[in-house]
Every structure is written in structure tokens, then in C-alpha cells.
Amino acid sequence: MTTARDLALIALGLPPGQGVEQGDLSLALAGAEAIDLLESGAATLEGDRIVPDTQVVTGDRMLDQAVASLGRREPYETVEHWLWRRGRELAAAYADDLGQDGLLAHPRRHGFHLRSGRTAPTDSPTRARAEERRASGEPVLAALMAAARIGDALPEACDSLTGESVTTVVAAVGDAVTQLEAVRLRRDIEDAAFDNMWRD
């Protein structure tokens, strides 16, 4: 199992009150893939740039797609750019992928609603392993969940990370999620102002 698949299973299995925004999860999944790529040897990090190494085959459909999509021309893309490019609709793609493997009770292929309760992980050894990893407080998974504000993960989880590359990726996820939240807030304010204008 990859960190990204574990993260997707955990997020999809959260109780309704702890739902996560699709965009936040997509950014966190892109970050998890970046960490998986670094750990597999498919890439290294030079500063904040993802440098492809070897064209490895991971045996995981989504991670193999991530390997194939790595930018291979200098100057290589930054972690931030990777998160926004690779993260586009990534949560929905993971829901489809897990559904293909029978790991979701009601996979939805047309639309994706993390808060709807319609799609939930099935009881499986794969899900059990992901939940065990979460329960153990495994640093990388806990830090990604905290950075993306998934579930009840605490910000302090990021303090237990080791390794400059992983820390760089997790920090970039946190920054991207904060940027996305700012965009949402601005849109809400603009929508409210527009509604008030029509009421006056």
C-alpha cells in the first residue's frame, strides 16, 4: 500500500462531522504521492524541485501514473507546482481507483462528495492496515493529515517528521491548503456581497 491510498481510505472513512473538502484532500494526496515517489527512488528533491530519477514501476496504478507524469525537463517543477498540477481532481481519481479494487461500498464515478456519506470504504484488510497506520501515529501519514486538516489530526504531528525532503513536501501541502481556503473565503465574501446587492 502507498501513503496516498492509505490517506484516501482514511479520509473516505471519516464520520460525517469530520468530512474533508475535495480540494484539500486532492492536494494532500498529491503530497503523499510525492513522498511515495521519493521513497521509491523514482525522484529526489533538490531544494524544492522534484528531480525524476528512474522510471520505476511501483505496481500501484495511481503511483505509476504519478511516475509517468513527472516533469523531466530542467528546471524541474517545484513541489508547489506538482501539488496544484497533479492534485487537480485527484481525490475523485482515487475514489474511482479504490472502487475498481472493490474497496469502496458505493463508488461514484460521476461526481464526488466526501460529505455525502454515499461512498465509504468496505471492511477489508487493506482498510484495516491503513487504520492501523493511522492509529499508530505514523509520522508521515499523521503530518499529511494535519497539514490538510483531515479528521482530528493535530498540527503538532508535523513536529515528529524527520528528513528534509518529507518536511518540505508536508510544508508545501499545508501552504497549498491554506491558499485554497483563502480562495474559498474570498469567493464566499464575494457571493455574499453579490446577494446583498440584489436584495437592496
Tell me the domain boundaries of the chain: 3-199
Give the tens place of pLDDT for each residue, 55-68: 888 899 999 999 99
In a 3-state reduction of DSSP, which class is residue 51?
Answer: strand
Q: ω into residue 139 within 30 of 0, thus cis? A: no
The pTM of the full predicted model, rounded to 2 decimals, is: 0.87
- In this structure, what is the dihedral angle of CA atoms 93, 112, 177, 52, given to the nearest 10 degrees? 0
For 117-162, how does the pLDDT look when each residue is reduced to its tens digit (9 = 90+)? 457 899 999 999 999 999 998 999 999 999 988 888 777 877 778 8
The confidence band for 191, taking pLDDT boundaries of 50, 70 and 90, is: low
